[in-house]
Amino acid sequence: MDKLNDIEVYVKRMQKSFMDKMFFIDKIFEPIENVIDFGCANGIMIHAMQYLFPEYNYIGYDISEDMIEKAKELVPGCEFHTEWDEIKTPFASSLLNISSTIHEVYSYGTEESVNEFWNRVFNSGFKYIAIRDMMLSDNIKLMSDEADVAKAKQLFPDKLKEYEKIWGPVNIRFNLIHYLLKYSYTENWEREVRENYLPITVETLLAKIPSDYEIVYKEHYVLPYVKQQIKKDCGIDLNDATHFKVLLKKKA
């Protein structure tokens, strides 16, 4: 993964959606012993969950050695890994949490590593799998509203020009929404503009779920603070669902 120009800013932005990322915690109705946080970053989510729900054993995994070092400082005594095969916790008694990670796997991985990721998710035998990330539906409108495009072009025109060189014109609705999800990431813009926030749709994800898992909960929605920020900055009412969360349970 590319180095972040400002790790602290990156982490603070992640925390804005913190409570939403713990959506699964009150929807687990069968006992588990472990929560494995895939893409744990600096361990902030583990830190909070450990305080609120100390009955679980928490394990963090992230390929960034810098983030893992920060996680070890923030949550001393917890188990953190940069190598997946080092995790020896029984998956059959564990929940795998994957929050804001799928788009990074696709953005920085190869086809082989993406396939390996999904194999680890669905074929490791986790009792529960919680997934939350940015995703659109296959059914979004093809073209953007002309008024929305005009409003977007008035804010950070240089950023928009750079974005369109990479992703295409924002008169395509998919491209406009993609831009609106990332324009505010000023501090790490060189990284963020190239990252694919929307590599798969909700329908693509649902099609990947194997038959030995059942859906306990799912929701397709737009984050309130994202909607409000876009309205404030651009004057655009974002009504398209931009985030998806789903909790899966392995069938008996």
Considering only CA atoms, which of 114, 107, 170 is closest in space to residue 142? 170
Q: What is the pLDDT of residue 14?
A: 53
| Range 124-140 average pLDDT | 97
Q: What is the pLDDT of residue 186?
A: 82
122 falls in which pLDDT band (50, 70, 90)? Answer: very high
6 falls in which pLDDT band (50, 70, 90)? Answer: very low
C-alpha distance from residue 221 to each of 64, 238, 240, 241, 246 (Å) = 29, 11, 8, 4, 12
5 falls in which pLDDT band (50, 70, 90)? Answer: very low
Q: What is the pLDDT of residue 13?
A: 53
Q: Residue 77 pLDDT more than 60?
A: yes
Which residues are within 8 A (CB) of 141 and not within 5 positions of it... i.e. 6 or more apart? 173
Q: Phi, psi (5° rounding) for residue 244?
A: -135, 140
The 10s digit of each residue's pLDDT in 192-243 is 999 999 999 999 999 999 999 999 999 999 999 899 999 999 999 999 999 9
Q: What is the largest CA-CA distance in the chain?
A: 55
Looking at the chain, the whole-number percentage of residues with pLDDT higher than 90 is 86
Residue 239 to residue 185: CA distance in whole angstroms: 21
72 falls in which pLDDT band (50, 70, 90)? Answer: very high
Q: Residue 94 pLDDT more than 70?
A: yes
Considering only CA atoms, which of 17, 72, 82, 69 is closest in space to residue 47? 72
Mean pLDDT of the chain: 92
The 10s digit of each residue's pLDDT in 158-180 is 999 999 999 999 999 999 999 99
Q: What is the pLDDT of residue 1?
A: 44
Q: What is the pLDDT of residue 4?
A: 43
Considering only CA atoms, which of 92, 89, 90 is closest in space to residue 127? 92
